[in-house]
Amino acid sequence: MHVDLQALYPKLIHLMLDTVFVVDRDNQIAFVSDACETLLGYRPEELTGTLITDYMHPEDLAATRASIIRVMNGQPHVDFRNRYIRKDGGVVHILWAAFWSEDVGARIGVARDITALTQAETELRFLAHHDPLTALTNRSLFSDRLDSALHRARRHSSSLALLFLDLNDFKGINDGYGHAAGDRVLCEIARRLEGCVRETDTVARMGGDEFTVLLTDLQSEDAVTEKVQQILAVMAAPLGAEFGGVTMPSCSIGVALYPADGEDADTLLSHADGDMYRVKKLHRAAG
């Protein structure tokens, strides 16, 4: 039995879930398969004869033009990623496989929608470096930030401060109101701490009810004292009615200064932790 493959090829191209583009040397779309409507929201006849560069995300134009030059110079590009703007204004992330056909005088590209994959990759990267409950920096990323800050401080002979913050009697909230209420309080504390620092500073949840704050480019020790007093004042503000009668726990803050209290991360963390426990003992004695 003879199968007419020549007649079958166009049907196969339009059956593909990925979108096939044929683009001439002037970037004009000569052909696009039916899948383009799912990908970009345009029907094939709307795209044919227009410039493919018109649909590219402006921030990706330079990198895409470099890829186009590479392909037209005879080097297929099978793993190129960029973004396009859909007809509805949305952004789609695309993975391309493209080559130049001298016979046709055009480049042929197959475009795959990887928007969901890109979003999943972004979320995974975020989760690798952030606390899943509060979305604060986690212990791992905080350690990297502290090492980088120490490196800069040594190079520029500047100072930095490390604050170690622990909630007093937080267990009472979990025991009395449940862990869901405790989680809401931790998220509220995270937002309050973020509101106390600059974008160049870092707030992290180290685990449980322990938080750290990294303050860089300090002008004086007085600035650290003022920051601690600000945090204590912000933390002392009562919780809103939506917390159902939960009382905001007080907190104990330990401080370590570079270089006075240590010149490496472990020493500074140990000093701030020890200072926090000293403050906590004073709180217990006063209470």
Distance, CA of 18 to CA of 101 (rounded, Å) = 19
Task: Mark residue 114 as left, alpha or beta (left: phi above 0; alpha: psi -120 to 50; beta: remaining).
Answer: alpha
pLDDT given for residue 244 in this prediction = 85
Confidence band, pLDDT 50/70/90 cuts, at residue 267 = very high
pLDDT given for residue 5 in this prediction = 67
pLDDT given for residue 3 in this prediction = 64
Catalytic residues: 209
Peptide bond into 44 cis (omega under 30): no
Distance, CA of 142 to CA of 213 (rounded, Å) = 9
Q: How many other CB atoms are found less than 10 A from the CB of residue 90?
A: 11
Q: What is the dihedral of CA 136, 141, 144, 149, to 10 degrees?
A: -10
φ and ψ of 89, to 5 deg: 90, -10
In the chain, the amino acid numbered 234 is V
Where do we find the tokens 């030059």?
69
What does 75-102 look like in DSSP terms, one character per residue? --EEEEEEEEE-TTS-EEEEEEEEEEET
Model confidence, pTM: 0.75
| Mean pLDDT value of segment 17-38 | 96
Q: What is the DSSP letter of 249?
A: P
Which residue, among 69, 73, 78, 66, has the nearest Cα to 102 in the 3D structure?
Answer: 73
Distance, CA of 227 to CA of 191 (rounded, Å) = 16
Per-domain boundaries in the chain: 5-119, 130-286
Distance, CA of 209 to CA of 154 (rounded, Å) = 31
Distance, CA of 68 to CA of 75 (rounded, Å) = 10
Q: What is the CATH number of domain 130-286?
A: 3.30.70.270
Which residue, among 46, 47, 44, has the nearest Cα to 34 in the 3D structure?
Answer: 44
Interval 74-93: pLDDT, tens: 999 999 999 999 999 999 99
Interval 197-233: pLDDT, tens: 999 999 999 999 999 999 998 878 788 999 999 999 9
Residues forming beta bridges with residue 100, ordered by sequence position: 107
Query: Between 127 and 14, whose confidence is greater?
Result: 127
CATH class of 5-119: alpha beta
Helix, strand and coil content of the chain, in percent to the nearest 5, comes to: 50, 25, 25
